Chains A and B, each alone.
Chain A
Amino acid sequence: MMKRHGILLLLMLGFSLTAPAQVSEPTVYASVFSTKLFVVGAANPQTGMFYHRPSEDTVWRHTGAKNIRANALAVFPGSDGRIRYTASGNGLHKTTDGGNNWKITTGWRITEIWAVSLDPVDPSAVYIGTAYGIYKSTDQGDTWKQVFTGFVSCIIVDRTNPSVLYAATELGVYKSTDRGETWQRTGLSIDRTRTVTQHPKDPQTLLVGTEKHGIYATSNGGRTWTKREAGIDHETFYTIAFDPSDPSIVYAGGYATGVYRSKDGGYSWRRTCVGFAVEHIHSIAVDPTDTRRVYAGTMGAGMYRSEDRGENWRFIGLPGAQVGRIVIEP
């Protein structure tokens, strides 16, 4: 009877017991922080890293530890999914063999990891943002050094220059120009920032989502910032994503926002909510192999996908999930 319940639960969560789909499709990875409301010690549904391919509709497979509240994830570019990290309350989980074996690379001192970012060139360099600061590893997570103190929500590595990093923190947006060794506050006056995103073609242009202060932009690597008004001044944004083929198209999501879309690089925005069960959006990613296809991870209602650049959305699985981050590997 218990076994039958277990299978039923798997099916409800959209798990597949079938073989993977064709490998030519991109793989969509999602970190699931919680499913509905998580209570420590209770019988919670699975959290952690899930993956999926576009042709699989609502089917998602779980990989790695099943009960870890995964806030973020990273996949080393070009590794075909072999090198992956899941950032969680239990620490940073790493696989280097495509998910067959996982190891927590952090110890008891590092907890509540909210962000993980990789050097796009050097697979040994890993950065994590936690409730207590930023930690850096130069040996794929075997050892760690704290390089920043403060609550960190998001870290990115400049895709054109891996010496440069940006971090969205509770103390403003910080920048490092020496591979994370030292950090300086940028010119943004807002303290509580939640996400930072780099323009796909102009590395000096960044957009930042804040807690209750909308979106700010810089075109000079963080020296000066301007607020993007357009009716989103007091919104909270957890995620911003550029269309990699046409960076004038930008998507943003946050608390009770649905998905906002801009067609002018973030100067004006239009809200789209068609198809969503909830309006809280925590993660957005654009499929680089077909940029009409956009994914949105909600807070408490699973994963949605649009096939028309965000006009209409459809539920595609992970019911009840709070999706911390989405990464798409071509």
Chain B
Amino acid sequence: MTIAKYTLTVAVCVAGLSRAQMKNEEAYKKEYEQRAAFIASAYDTSSYSSYYAIAARYARNRDIRWADSLFVELLKEPRGDMFWMFPVIGAYLHGKDKMSEETRLAVRNSWKSYTPYRGDTENHWCMYYGSLFLAAEQWPGLPGSEWFNGKSSDENLIEAKEYLIEWMRITTTIGQGEFDSPDYLPEFVIPMVLLAEFAQDPEMKLRGRMMADYVLADFAVDHLEGQYIGGFSRIYQPAVYKPLLSQASAYAYLYFGTGNPTTSGWVLLPALSSYRLPHSIYRIALDRSKPYVHKERKRVRNIIRLGTVKNPPVYKYTYMTQDYGLSSLHGGILQPIQQHTWSVRFTRGEPYTTVFGLHPYWSALELIMFFPEEERMMIADVVASKGTYNNPDKWTGSSPFERTFQYKNTLIVLYDIEPGTTTEHIDGFFPMTLDHRSVDPSGWIVCRAGNTYIGWYPLQEYEWIDEYEKPGQSLNTIGRPEMGMDAPVLGNWRLRSHKLQNGYVVEVRSKNEIGSFETFVNGLRKRIAKATLKPGAVSVDYRTLEGAHMKFSFPEGRALNGVNVDLTKTKLFDGPFLNAEVGSERLTITHGKQRRILDFKKLQISE
């Protein structure tokens, strides 16, 4: 390691250890460059055989012959489908003016001889077409015989552009399908920053920049100290209870300067990119000076069977403070396999900075709603890559028997589970890193994590189970081992209730909001929910700590202070920082006096 690299590493790590303070634009830009350089520096001397090591060398003009040699070698056996396409075109675009003719030909030939699978979902298609568009621009005028799919350069360019524009249109009118995903954020950001930097078509260059802004703004408003707050469409199991493990945290580190320093490969291409996050979005990610409510509307992934609407709406509600974020999706099956319906995440107690609950449900019928494969083989197919799907102890997934109702920092979750369903219990996750966890005689489970206080009132009897994160247990997906087999066994707590008609009330407050923990607990003792828990008739009547009256009848009967809550009126974005109407193709980003409008109809950024 050179002295300069050592100095950079120390500077970046020290900066990453303290709670992030909002920086002015000049300081932000300076520190951003340091973080980007830190990430790139992990690859521009790495001997690890990866397209990222090649891209970093080209971008930073180091060891070009070494990069050429490795590029040619790796392209002898291409694999990875769309996950191959974007690093290859990214590396090529960074190095095309520096690489040897042999290397250039090897890259060109790979787009002729290797057929990437196009995939079956939004993130696949975004990576596939984003990469294909850039490749088709690089090699114009070629006939179909020069491309893996038999289409000419022009045909590929037109098809890729059409898809990307349609994806942008649907995202900015009825919302993203694989929305707010801590683990799939890179799959959308990377193609967009590559377009923003390298597209020759000015329209697509601008669109790439605008969509990168859009997706990162969507993250920023739900961001707290490196964590994505949600309510998520997709998340892998380790990151659901260790929030900083997700790839979104790497993006928080690069773009917001929060979380832990990282050199994740998933953030390398953005770190090498000339794309820069607008300062207003950075400020939104950091400004937690006042608590706020933020609402969003997204869409369900394409339903291909057992449904009448292709993309029903998803309603997300977030309450954010400087100490915690409480957020929920309205419930039901909104995404297969990896949905995370609700959680509170907080800034103290790493790595387990969250409390959440779920009904760990699985079903071939759920899967065939979204996937075209044979129903009877579906679960085995899914478990091949999402190993916990049919595990009754899993911590991710949607359930048709779960619904939520959130108002500010109060959440009610109800379940009306059919007998015989997988599974006949609900679970809650309580981390070992809480400063306090006890059961009050009133029935409230009361917890404290630093300045965050959490109350959980179970509506039915339950038990506590030691929750061991066993070595190897969290090998949830191929290629992403979280810990080695010799890692220590750690203990958390699982709340489990076997009653089919069930639910709980969750109250979250911070020290700033309510004062002492004792005051919080005393307040809860006076707030006992009245519940009806019979099959087909599950409801709760509850007054929050501040006196708001919430009535919730499973599945969709929500009333606040006597007024029915109509979720269908939810806007695409609605809060102090982001605002967009359904169908508008226009996002207004506001922070203080800074305002940035992304208008996809006019193809215009205005400030």
Contact between B81 and A107 (Cβ–Cβ < 8 Å)? no
- In angstroms, how far is the closest chain A Cβ from the Cβ of B52? 15
- In angstroms, how far is the closest chain A Cβ from the Cβ of B507? 41
The answer to whether the Cβ of A91 comes within 8 Å of any Cβ in the partner chain is: yes
Question: 0/1 per residue, B154-174, Cβ < 8 Å to A?
Answer: 000001101100100000000
**Looking at B83, B144, B305, which has the most chain A CB atoms within 10 Å of its CB?**
B305
- In angstroms, how far is the closest chain B Cβ from the Cβ of A238? 7
Report B-chain residues with C-beta under 8 Å of the C-beta of A236. Answer: 375-376
Please judge, given known A-B contacts A108-B162, A151-B372, whether A68 and B80 are in contact too, CB under 8 Å.
no
Distance in angstroms between the alpha carbons of A102 and B147 in the assembled complex? 10
The answer to whether the Cβ of A90 comes within 8 Å of any Cβ in the partner chain is: yes
Please judge, given known A-B contacts A238-B374, A255-B374, A280-B377, whether A108 and B125 are in contact too, CB under 8 Å.
yes
Contact between B129 and A108 (Cβ–Cβ < 8 Å)? yes
Within 8 A of A (CB), among B504-524: none
Question: 0/1 per residue, B371-385, Cβ < 8 Å to A?
Answer: 010111100110011
Distance in angstroms between the alpha carbons of A90 and B128 in the assembled complex? 11
Report A-chain residues with C-beta under 8 Å of the C-beta of B77. Answer: 2, 6
Report A-chain residues with C-beta under 8 Å of the C-beta of B380. Answer: 37
Report A-chain residues with C-beta under 8 Å of the C-beta of B159. Answer: 107-108
30 A–B pairs (Cβ distance < 8 Å), ordered by A: A6-B77, A38-B384, A40-B81, A40-B119, A40-B120, A40-B124, A41-B80, A42-B79, A42-B479, A65-B149, A67-B117, A69-B117, A90-B115, A90-B149, A91-B118, A91-B149, A101-B150, A104-B151, A108-B159, A108-B160, A108-B162, A108-B163, A111-B120, A112-B304, A131-B305, A151-B304, A236-B375, A236-B376, A255-B377, A256-B376
Distance in angstroms between the alpha carbons of A43 and B116 in the assembled complex? 11
Contact between B377 and A89 (Cβ–Cβ < 8 Å)? no
The answer to whether the Cβ of A145 comes within 8 Å of any Cβ in the partner chain is: no
Report A-chain residues with C-beta under 8 Å of the C-beta of B150. Answer: 93, 101-104
**What residue in chain A is nearest B382 (Cβ atoms)?**
A37
Other-chain contact of B115, A42, A65, A107 (Cβ < 8 Å):
A65
Contact between B381 and A89 (Cβ–Cβ < 8 Å)? no
- In angstroms, how far is the closest chain A Cβ from the Cβ of B152? 10
Report B-chain residues with C-beta under 8 Å of the C-beta of A102. Answer: 150
Report A-chain residues with C-beta under 8 Å of the C-beta of B83. Answer: 41
Report B-chain residues with C-beta under 8 Å of the C-beta of A6. Answer: 77
The answer to whether the Cβ of B473 comes within 8 Å of any Cβ in the partner chain is: no
**What residue in chain B is nearest A236 (Cβ atoms)?**
B376
Report B-chain residues with C-beta under 8 Å of the C-beta of A111. Answer: 118, 120
Closest A-B pairs by Cβ, 5 of them: A103-B150, A37-B384, A65-B115, A108-B163, A255-B376
- In angstroms, how far is the closest chain A Cβ from the Cβ of B159? 5
Distance in angstroms between the alpha carbons of A37 and B117 in the assembled complex? 15
| CB contacts between A and B, total, < 8 Å | 103
Report A-chain residues with C-beta under 8 Å of the C-beta of B148. Answer: 65
Please judge, given known A-B contacts A2-B76, A65-B115, A112-B372, whether A41 and B81 are in contact too, CB under 8 Å.
yes
- In angstroms, how far is the closest chain B Cβ from the Cβ of A291? 28
Distance in angstroms between the alpha carbons of A107 and B154 in the assembled complex? 13
Other-chain contact of A89, B80, B120, B145, B151 (Cβ < 8 Å):
B120
Distance in angstroms between the alpha carbons of A300 and B376 in the assembled complex? 13
Report A-chain residues with C-beta under 8 Å of the C-beta of B114. Answer: 67
Report A-chain residues with C-beta under 8 Å of the C-beta of B306. Answer: 170
The answer to whether the Cβ of B578 comes within 8 Å of any Cβ in the partner chain is: no
Partner-B contacts on A (CB < 8 A): 2, 6, 37-43, 65-69, 89-91, 93, 101-104, 107-108, 111-112, 114, 131-132, 151, 170, 211, 236, 238, 255-256, 280, 282, 299-300
The answer to whether the Cβ of B1 comes within 8 Å of any Cβ in the partner chain is: no
**What residue in chain B is nearest A322 (Cβ atoms)?**
B377
Report A-chain residues with C-beta under 8 Å of the C-beta of B151. Answer: 103-104
**What residue in chain B is nearest A104 (Cβ atoms)?**
B149
Distance in angstroms between the alpha carbons of A91 and B148 in the assembled complex? 13
Other-chain contact of B120, A68, A91, A112, A280 (Cβ < 8 Å):
A112
Chain B binding site: helix, strand, loop or mixed by DSSP? Answer: loop
The answer to whether the Cβ of B82 comes within 8 Å of any Cβ in the partner chain is: yes
Q: Contact size class for B?
A: 35 or more
- In angstroms, how far is the closest chain B Cβ from the Cβ of A65? 4
Other-chain contact of B381, A38, A65, A91, A282 (Cβ < 8 Å):
A38
Report B-chain residues with C-beta under 8 Å of the C-beta of A256. Answer: 376
Distance in angstroms between the alpha carbons of A45 and B384 in the assembled complex? 15
Report A-chain residues with C-beta under 8 Å of the C-beta of B117. Answer: 40, 67-69, 89-90
- In angstroms, how far is the closest chain A Cβ from the Cβ of B79? 5
Contact between B120 and A101 (Cβ–Cβ < 8 Å)? no
**What residue in chain A is nearest B164 (Cβ atoms)?**
A108
Contact between A107 and B162 (Cβ–Cβ < 8 Å)? yes
The answer to whether the Cβ of B489 comes within 8 Å of any Cβ in the partner chain is: no
Distance in angstroms between the alpha carbons of A43 and B380 in the assembled complex? 18
Distance in angstroms between the alpha carbons of A65 and B374 in the assembled complex? 23
Contact between A68 and B115 (Cβ–Cβ < 8 Å)? yes
The answer to whether the Cβ of B478 comes within 8 Å of any Cβ in the partner chain is: yes
**What residue in chain B is nearest A95 (Cβ atoms)?**
B150
- In angstroms, how far is the closest chain B Cβ from the Cβ of A171? 9
Distance in angstroms between the alpha carbons of A91 and B294 in the assembled complex? 40
**What residue in chain A is nearest B129 (Cβ atoms)?**
A108
Other-chain contact of A90, B118, B160, B166, B304 (Cβ < 8 Å):
B118
- In angstroms, how far is the closest chain B Cβ from the Cβ of A180? 20
- In angstroms, how far is the closest chain B Cβ from the Cβ of A288? 27
Q: A41-B82, A93-B150, A112-B372 are in contact. List 19 more A-B contacts (CB 8 A).
A: A2-B76, A38-B381, A39-B385, A42-B478, A43-B80, A65-B148, A67-B116, A89-B117, A91-B118, A101-B150, A103-B144, A103-B150, A104-B150, A108-B125, A111-B120, A112-B120, A112-B304, A170-B306, A238-B374
**Looking at B125, B144, B304, B478, which has the most chain A CB atoms within 10 Å of its CB?**
B304
Question: 0/1 per residue, B134-151, Cβ < 8 Å to A?
Answer: 000000000011001111
**What residue in chain B is nearest A282 (Cβ atoms)?**
B374
**What residue in chain B is nearest A102 (Cβ atoms)?**
B150
Contact between B149 and A151 (Cβ–Cβ < 8 Å)? no
Contact between A114 and B149 (Cβ–Cβ < 8 Å)? no
Contact between B129 and A66 (Cβ–Cβ < 8 Å)? no
- In angstroms, how far is the closest chain A Cβ from the Cβ of B375? 6
Distance in angstroms between the alpha carbons of A107 and B145 in the assembled complex? 17
Question: 0/1 per residue, B56-81, Cβ < 8 Å to A?
Answer: 00000000000000000000110111
- In angstroms, how far is the closest chain A Cβ from the Cβ of B178? 13
Report B-chain residues with C-beta under 8 Å of the C-beta of A255. Answer: 374, 376-377
**What residue in chain B is nearest A34 (Cβ atoms)?**
B381
- In angstroms, how far is the closest chain A Cβ from the Cβ of B376? 4
Contact between A39 and B384 (Cβ–Cβ < 8 Å)? yes
Report B-chain residues with C-beta under 8 Å of the C-beta of A43. Answer: 79-80
Distance in angstroms between the alpha carbons of A107 and B83 in the assembled complex? 20
Contact between A66 and B376 (Cβ–Cβ < 8 Å)? no
- In angstroms, how far is the closest chain A Cβ from the Cβ of B145? 6
**What residue in chain B is nearest A36 (Cβ atoms)?**
B384
Distance in angstroms between the alpha carbons of A108 and B162 in the assembled complex? 8
- In angstroms, how far is the closest chain A Cβ from the Cβ of B242? 23
Report B-chain residues with C-beta under 8 Å of the C-beta of A89. Answer: 117-120
Contact between B145 and A101 (Cβ–Cβ < 8 Å)? yes
Report A-chain residues with C-beta under 8 Å of the C-beta of B115. Answer: 65-68, 90
Report B-chain residues with C-beta under 8 Å of the C-beta of A41. Answer: 80-84
Within 8 A of A (CB), among B218-257: none
**Looking at B76, B115, B375, which has the most chain A CB atoms within 10 Å of its CB?**
B115
Distance in angstroms between the alpha carbons of A112 and B124 in the assembled complex? 13
Report B-chain residues with C-beta under 8 Å of the C-beta of A90. Answer: 115, 117-118, 149
Report B-chain residues with C-beta under 8 Å of the C-beta of A280. Answer: 376-377
Distance in angstroms between the alpha carbons of A6 and B380 in the assembled complex? 27
Distance in angstroms between the alpha carbons of A225 and B607 in the assembled complex? 66
